Amino acid sequence: MGLGDEYVDVLAEHRRILRSAFTKRGGVEVDTQGDAFFYAFRRAGDAVEAVSEGQDSLAEGPLPRAHRSSHR
């Protein structure tokens, strides 16, 4: 089951949510491809906190429930 016409909007929201979490913890975007990000952080702990916050925000966010990840 794909997103069809919703893909562009869902991808944009996915990116907005994760970029917010990553930059809040001092992350610097190096690259992005599709829904994948490559960020650099000064400290590993900041990266872990950013990823945790990003996952929580995605789980609570407006993305269609059928397309949410439950990975931890």
Can you give the pTM of this predicted structure?
0.79
Mean pLDDT of 5-30: 92
pLDDT for 69: 54
DSSP conformation letters of 2-44 = --GGGHHHHHHHHHHHHHHHHHHTT-EEEEEETTEEEEE-SSH
Alpha-carbon distance of 3 to 35, in angstroms, equals 13
The domain spans of the chain are 4-67
pLDDT beyond 60 at 67: no
| Count, residues in the chain | 72
